[in-house]
Amino acid sequence: MEKPLGPGIDVARDTLQQRVAVRLRELLIQGVLAPGDKLNERELCGRLGVSRTPLREAVRLLAAEGLVTLDPGRGAFAPVLSLPEIAHTFDLLAVLEGFAAELAATHITQRELSELHALQLEMQAAFKREDLAAYYRANARVHDVLNEASRNPVLRGTWSQLNTRMHALRFRSNQDKVKWAEALKEHELMIELLQKRDGAALRQLLVQHLHRKRDAVLDRLSSGSAKINSMSTPSSVAAKSSNDTH
């Protein structure tokens, strides 16, 4: 028999908070809430159909992830990262993902490889219909599986914490169709190298992949086009399942 939950646990409230956090996370990632924007409680409550309490709890959760900046007396804001911060974070992510990939080449299971193949098909379909939101969800899961397959929880935890801060920038870096096509090809090669268990080549590919992503992000920011959201819309967020976490 399962033990009853403790008296201080409100499952319904926790679940609602998590659902709101998922929706807010997508608004931030897709640039609907752009860097520097203030999170307007009244507007977001209306948009998400919730009261202020679960919204505030979700905001605190995202603040702990680094996706929201809390300014006492002023409110919550979508964070603004400096160019050096972005460059340094991507450089570290390249090292972490490269190491994770090399480990994954040894430890990945056939079930995980099958999932990656299915995700690659999802990414290809999303690319053809220019659905960047769907592409990014599948893409994020690919990198998640890769890091899970490293079988190193400390590495995965460190990567996840840093990667969360880069979600919005990674999403928008693919708004250039040429770079998006290049990224899709790189993911195809990643899966091929995983099947071959070629850890050294896979590590090199991941490092190059992250460096290209870094350069694409910095180019967009430097040219002043980072807030362009032509390929993402609020409706794509509203259609998101509450079970998605990436």
By the 8 A CB rule, do 216 and 176 touch?
Answer: yes
- The domain covering 83-238 belongs, at the CATH homologous superfamily level, to GntR ligand-binding domain-like (1.20.120.530)
pLDDT score at 223: 80
Considering the chain, tell me which residue range(s) the CATH 1.10.10.10 domain(s) occupy.
11-77
Mean pLDDT of 33-62: 94
pLDDT of 15 > 70? The answer is: yes
Considering the chain, tell me which residue range(s) the CATH 1.20.120.530 domain(s) occupy.
83-238
Q: Which amino acid is at 66?
A: G
pLDDT of 58 > 90? The answer is: yes
pLDDT of 232 > 60? The answer is: no
Q: Alpha-carbon distance 149 to 246, whole Å?
A: 17
Q: Two tokens at 99? A: 């190491």
pLDDT of 238 > 90? The answer is: no
Q: Alpha-carbon distance 136 to 167, whole Å?
A: 9
pTM here is 0.77
Query: Which residues partner with 69 through β-bridges?
Result: 77
> Computed from CA positions of residues 211, 212, 216, 219, in that sequence, does the dihedral angle turn out positive or negative?
positive
The upper half-sphere exposure of residue 151, i.e. CA atoms within 13 Å in the direction of its Cβ, equals 9
- Residue 70: phi and psi, rounded to 5, are -100, 125
Q: Alpha-carbon distance 166 to 169, whole Å?
A: 5
Domain 11-77 fold is Arc Repressor Mutant, subunit A (1.10.10)
Q: Which residue has the higher pLDDT, 159 or 237?
A: 159
Place of tokens 């399942």: 241
Strongest mean pLDDT among 210-214, 219-223, 226-230, 233-237: 210-214
Q: Which pLDDT tens digit goes with each residue over 92-125?
A: 999 999 999 999 999 999 999 999 999 999 999 9
pLDDT score at 173: 78
Q: Alpha-carbon distance 109 to 41, whole Å?
A: 44
Mean pLDDT of 208-231: 75
pLDDT score at 13: 56
Separation of CA 63 from chain center: 15
SS (H, E, C) the chain: CCCCCCCCCCHHHHHHHHHHHHHHHHHHHCCCCCCCCECCHHHHHHHHCCCHHHHHHHHHHHHHHCCCEEECCCEEECCCCCHHHHHHHHHHHHHHHHHHHHHHHHHCCHHHHHHHHHHHHHHHHHHHCCCHHHHHHHHHHHHHHHHHCCCCHHHHHHHHHHHHHHHHHHHHHCCCHHHHHHHHHHHHHHHHHHHHCCHHHHHHHHHHHHHHHHHHHHHHHHCCCCCCCCCCCHHHHHCCCCCCCC
pLDDT score at 231: 31
Mean pLDDT of 175-188: 92
Q: Model confidence at 230, in pLDDT bands (50, 70, 90)?
A: very low
Q: Alpha-carbon distance 198 to 192, whole Å?
A: 9
